[in-house]
Amino acid sequence: MTIRITRRATLLGGAGLAAGALAAPAVAQNTPIRLGGLTTLEGPFATGGQDAYRCVQMELERINHTVGGRRIEFIRESSNAQADVALARARKLVEQDNVDIILGPLSGAEGIALRDYSRTLTGKTIVNGSSGASDTTLRNPSPNFFRFSTDGTQWMAGLGKHVYQTMGIREVAVTAGDYAFPYAQVFGFNLEFCRLGGKVTHYWAPLGTTDFTSQIAQINRSNAGAVVVVHGGTDGLAFMTQYAQAGGNKPLVGGSIMADQTMLSARGPHRRVMVGMISGGPIADVIDDPTWNDFVARYRRRWANEGGFASPSIHAVNYSTNLYGILHALKEVNGDLSDNQAAFQRALAAAEITAPTGASVKLDHNRQAISDIFLNKIEERGNAAQVVAFDRARGINQTLGIPEARFLSLGSPSRDNPGCVATS
């Protein structure tokens, strides 16, 4: 038997092929956008990570998981705040779950690891979760890494000045975790405090330290007029509990993840010493802003009966801010991720959004947020301790207003370069 190929059959076949080829992009537009979430559901920041996913879920539910005509499929992954684990999980998201965009990670060193990983990717974008090391976007930035949240250095804007000028304290003890994020926070504090003439003694401890008693003994015997605590998660709780037990009574100044609901909602004697603590950061529990009040009200409605805090945590707000950036850009491009996400990334870089706190956010040339920072004080309101914003600095950039070249020449924040340098 012979197979006869008629002209008609050929034409039909050709038309079929063409139709298939034309239909393909339309199909791609209808497939869901795969958004991979990476946060810490294990380790010292498990509580913050859990809360971050609460808000991401809440905001996705609000738009019915749809943006620019495409469905968003959210895939949750978890690390334990260690850079190597975050990297492995990010690889899993990209290589096995085949996600288009990663929203994460939560912790400083993880952010740097993912920034480096993002550089090896084509057609994928990583948008920060809540990690706040400054070098993630300041030095050697990656074109595929975007951060709509402010970094640890920015969060301290105005704090050093407040401690020196308003509180009149000339010498402080800084106790901080020994990794990228606290370096950035300490750097931001010291830039102002040391420039004004303040004296700083540093006490570093590795992330995961739960017995600070010897460090506290040293601090309590020192001449420091205040203690600047830049720990978070269980480390921060352990420090504060042991500080309270050791009868510590110096005024406290907190890093941004110290004065947070993840800390205030845990029970214990630490709450007593933390009332009155001054801190700086991208959020507070009480901010006089309608956008924020609405966000908090929605959070309470959604999560009050499912383990939510009295008020969203800093990590939840940072993840939400970054999610807003993603959603804004996806809407701009109508969900079009073709051409290696080129249009989407352009839309991300140009995005100007409003964070849940009501702060306006835009990105600089390194794809890093320029936004508002709050000065906060912990107050006893009703029966609960709350972080209350009493001042707000608008449009803080990554170099705290210092010219970028000058700021870069100060060197990368580290335990040996904590920012006690002349900047003029």
Note the residues at the interface with other proteins (CB under 8 A): 41-44, 46-47, 49-50, 80, 178, 203-206, 208-215, 217-218, 221, 233-234, 237-238, 241-242, 245-247, 262, 265-269, 307, 415
Residue 328 CA to residue 89 CA, distance in Å, equals 26
Smallest distance from other proteins to CB 409, Å: 26
Smallest distance from other proteins to CB 13, Å: 54
117, exposed or middle or buried, with CB in 10 Å at 0-12, 13-18, 19+?
A: buried
Smallest distance from other proteins to CB 272, Å: 12
| Nearest residue (CB) to other proteins, 236 versus 335 | 236
Name 278's Cβ contacts closer than 8 Å, sequence gap at least 6: 159, 162, 163, 167, 251, 252, 253, 254, 375, 376, 377
**131 and 148 in contact (C-beta within 8 Å)?**
no
| Nearest residue (CB) to other proteins, 30 versus 210 | 210
| Nearest residue (CB) to other proteins, 238 versus 387 | 238
* Pair of tokens at residue 45: 């920041």
Smallest distance from other proteins to CB 218, Å: 6
| Nearest residue (CB) to other proteins, 43 versus 158 | 43
H/E run at residue 205 = strand 199-205
Smallest distance from other proteins to CB 27, Å: 38
Report the length, in residues, of the chain.
Answer: 424
**148 and 353 in contact (C-beta within 8 Å)?**
yes
Residue listed under structure tokens 């950061």: 281
245, exposed or middle or buried, with CB in 10 Å at 0-12, 13-18, 19+?
A: middle
Residue 86 CA to residue 104 CA, distance in Å, equals 9
Smallest distance from other proteins to CB 51, Å: 9
Strand partners, 134: none
| Nearest residue (CB) to other proteins, 219 versus 373 | 219
| Nearest residue (CB) to other proteins, 7 versus 221 | 221
Smallest distance from other proteins to CB 286, Å: 22
| Nearest residue (CB) to other proteins, 20 versus 269 | 269
